[in-house]
Homo-oligomer: A and B are copies of this chain.
Amino acid sequence: MNLTGMMLIGGQGVAGRRDMIRALDPSTDQPLEPGYAGADREQVEQACALAWEAFDAYRETAPETRARLLETIADEMEALGDGLIERAMVETSLPRARLHGERGRTCGQLRLFARTLRAGEWLDARVDPAMPQRQPLPRADLRQRQVALGPVAVFGAGNFPLAFSVAGGDTASALTAGCPVVVKAHPAHPGVSELTGRVIRQAVADCGLPGGVFSLLITDGHALGRQLVEHPAIAAVAFTGSRRGGEALMRAAALRPRPIPVYAEMGSLNPVLALPHALAARAEAMAAAWVDALTLNAGQFCTCPSLLLAVEGEDLERFRRAAANAAAAKPADTMLTPAIHDAYQSALHRLRRTPGVAERAFGQAGGGPYAAQAALFEVDAAGFAARPELAEEIFGPCALTVACRDQDELLSIVAGLDGQLTATLQMDDADLPLARELLPLLEARAGRVLANGFPNWVETSPAMVHGGPFPASSDSRATSVGLAAMDRFLRPVCYQNLPAALLPPQVADDNPLRLWRRVDSAWSQS
């Protein structure tokens, strides 16, 4: 693939003016060409100004136009073929099959939003007909549609170079909603970002849209990210990454003269509750499947199941033994960046020195400079409850098993958990009474509750929720995956007694877009 080392600002390839950013092949520690000179303040300003200029035209494009934009992006990402996958492989060290799957998911998500735009009922148009005879006051003719919030700043994630990056769920849902997007690429994969960005830039041009609809900034510093969040043209922020990063953006956005929403998905422990009957029936199989889920792609998932809770006893010991064996057999796996690897090593070091926490197993060593060993630790419930730092996410293939004295202690540990993206019940039918007690606690603390299986895979479908109470995400009312992701970038407008000639087509009398709409209170397509 021919990489230029340039950013994209409003449709133009532009060389940065700051320090050179160079991706690294984490499996060899070798820097990769080309270098990308970072954006300066003026370039951030320019991207935001162009997004603002493009906003009025873009938000009023027909749904069909935006649907074609999304499909063109998906088609052209596929047309990049193996070149895109191979660049992603060297920049992230993620395996080929995973990246193929990730591209499939990314393109599937773009096409899902395209279908959604055409179907239209997700836009929730409403019509309350006038009631001129109503007493004591007549009712006016009222109509409601959703309009785009404004330009969105997207911070690409490091761990999904395609699905949560330049053309990922945040960009796709913002473009669906009618919002121009300014992406701050993750500095660990500038090459993949450039390739994906060029696809979007070309699709924007092919669909006859203004270049400001999409810009891609490459920068390594926090200052320019903050400038982006504080820019008056930016109306919302989407971020996937660390809690510290997310909280910094939340505060910056809240302290603007005009505060804006931040949708930060900051990860979580994703507790797995191994209930007694399931544990008795299949401790070994459950342990093996759990260690697979835990170590998949070096544990670099927001949904990595890194906390296991169970009641102590022989079944739990069988489980731990099997998990230890499985973990010990896992080869070390290269992490995304040296910084992530360092943070993982430091976290392991801290855990090992934490009183009450016991090492149980380590995976195989070796495998290159930034390879992570799987690691299993154990603690009892009292020790877990006494040390809040044990409830902080460790990004990587490391897990903590918490042994509870009895079911009451299990319930109390769950009640003490912070917000989570997911919570998983490993359960059999005989566990139902306990599961019933746990469910209200779990749904108050997690965006998604699973029975059996593991949470790594996040389906892009109408019912998915990828978000959860703080600190899993900044806003538990939102999801960053699934159809409702676009709701983050929409706001309702009500039209009162507007003449027919002035009404937008979504709420016009003859329903020219053939949308499902709520007319009075009933669904109707007429």
Q: Which residues of A contact B (CB under 8 A)?
A: 56, 60, 101, 104, 119, 121, 126-128, 136-137, 139-140, 142-144, 147, 149-150, 250-251, 254-255, 258-259, 261, 419, 427, 429, 432, 435-436, 439-440, 443-444, 446-453, 455, 457, 459, 461-465, 469-471, 474-477, 479, 484, 487, 490-499, 501-502, 516, 518, 520-521, 523
Shortest C-beta distance, A31 to chain B (Å), equals 34
Which residues of chain B are within 8 angstroms of A477 by Cβ–Cβ distance?
Answer: 149, 261, 487, 490-492
Give the contacting residue for A495; candidates B251, B449, B521; CB below 8 A: B449
A521 to B126, CA, bound (A): 18
Interface of A is mostly: mixed
Which residues of chain B are within 8 angstroms of A494 by Cβ–Cβ distance?
Answer: 447-449, 463-465
Shortest C-beta distance, A134 to chain B (Å), equals 10
Contact A139 B501 (CB under 8 A): no
Known contacts A147-B443, A477-B261, A490-B477: does B139 contact A461 (CB below 8 Å)? yes
Give the contacting residue for A520; candidates B258, B435, B462, B495; CB below 8 A: B462
Kindly name the residue among A254, A261, A523 whose own CB sees the greatest number of chain B CB atoms within 10 A.
A254
Contact B493 A449 (CB under 8 A): yes
Shortest C-beta distance, A445 to chain B (Å), equals 10
Which residues of chain B are within 8 angstroms of A476 by Cβ–Cβ distance?
Answer: 149, 491
Shortest C-beta distance, A109 to chain B (Å), equals 14
A471 to B256, CA, bound (A): 12
CB-nearest residue of chain B to A439? B502
Which residues of chain B are within 8 angstroms of A469 by Cβ–Cβ distance?
Answer: 491
Shortest C-beta distance, A503 to chain B (Å), equals 9
Contact A259 B470 (CB under 8 A): yes
Shortest C-beta distance, A491 to chain B (Å), equals 4
Report 20 cross-chain contacts, Cβ distance below 8 Å, ordered by A residue: A56-B444, A121-B523, A128-B463, A139-B459, A143-B463, A251-B255, A261-B477, A427-B499, A432-B501, A443-B493, A447-B493, A449-B498, A450-B498, A453-B496, A462-B518, A462-B521, A463-B518, A465-B493, A477-B491, A484-B492
Which residues of chain B are within 8 angstroms of A449 by Cβ–Cβ distance?
Answer: 493-496, 498
Give the contacting residue for A147; candidates B444, B463, B497; CB below 8 A: B444
Which residues of chain B are within 8 angstroms of A150 by Cβ–Cβ distance?
Answer: 444
Contact A101 B251 (CB under 8 A): no
Contact A521 B435 (CB under 8 A): no
Given contacts A429-B501, A464-B494, 17 further A-B contacts (CB under 8 A): A104-B136, A128-B459, A140-B453, A142-B461, A144-B464, A250-B259, A254-B255, A258-B471, A259-B474, A432-B501, A448-B495, A448-B496, A449-B493, A450-B497, A451-B497, A462-B521, A465-B492
